[in-house]
Homo-oligomer: A and B are copies of this chain.
Amino acid sequence: MKISASQVWSAIVEIRSRAPVVHNITNYVVMNSTANALLSLGASPVMAHAVDEVEDMVTIASALVINIGTLSPPWVEAMDAAARKARKRGIPIVLDPVGAGATPYRTRTARDLIENVSPSILRGNASEILALLESKAKTKGVDSTARSDSALEVAQRLSEIYECIVCVSGETDYIIDGADITRVMNGHPMMPRVTGLGCTATALCGAFAAVSESPALAAAEAMAVMGIAGEMAADVAQGPGSLQVRFLDALYRMSEEDVRRRLRTEG
């Protein structure tokens, strides 16, 4: 798929004007930072995980984001309930299998969720994506030990089996729709030194899925905006602390000119 700067910019404008509600069931580490990223972009984040209310919250949301970063059984139950409701309503679901491969519990839960949740977009790093199909895949905690291109074949099989977009993030981000591959080459090497930017990419996929005509386009837009904001931030940052702050500023300030000048993608 080819994506253009105009498409990315239109989607940003759409999010800024419509402020879609993105319901996140996510991990403790990134709740604050992903909520801030969604607000800086122009979306309206909601964090809610109680079984008593997730279905009602889904009812007012335009996208559902599920992230297993600090999972435990009651949260997984809420994820299942929210996803069932989201499917029924036809809103996009984005799933982030954080740390799949690191422990059997995570790998098993991630695999169960893919089956049960039927995500529109599945986003992870190469280690996580590999672990979803290959039982021998090794991961080192929650950081990837594999390059993003090494997971391409597995990602394509996952995309076909589960009929979803698979987004493998890394130095190059791959957006995989069956046989079709979109590459996004934006980003900066300091980004992995900020915790939860992968989770933030997943959350932004939710915001873009709420306004875009296809999950594939939404995932490509989200990864492009992540990378461009990261580059803008790195231009003025002095380390990971200021990178995180300036990244939020960049999401808020990003102009059509920024997108046009920086977007690097191949379809």
Contact = CB atoms under 8 A, between A and B. Distances in A.
How many copies of the chain does the oligomer comprise? 3
Is chain A's interface secondary structure helix, strand, loop, or mixed overall?
A: mixed
B50 A72 contact: yes
A174 to B, nearest CB: 23
Interface residues on A, range: 35 or more
B53 A103 contact: yes
Nearest to A57: B103
A239 B31 contact: no
A91 to B, nearest CB: 14
B60 A140 contact: yes
Kindly list the 8 A-B residue pairs having the minimum CB-CB distance in the complex, ordered from nearest.
A239-B249, A241-B248, A56-B103, A53-B105, A35-B195, A239-B252, A241-B245, A46-B141
Interface of A: 19, 21, 23, 27-33, 35-36, 39-40, 44-50, 52-53, 56-57, 60-61, 69-74, 99, 102-106, 140-143, 192-196, 237-242, 244-253
Given A29-B35, A31-B70, 11 more contacts: A32-B32, A39-B194, A40-B239, A48-B99, A48-B103, A52-B73, A239-B246, A239-B251, A240-B248, A241-B244, A241-B246
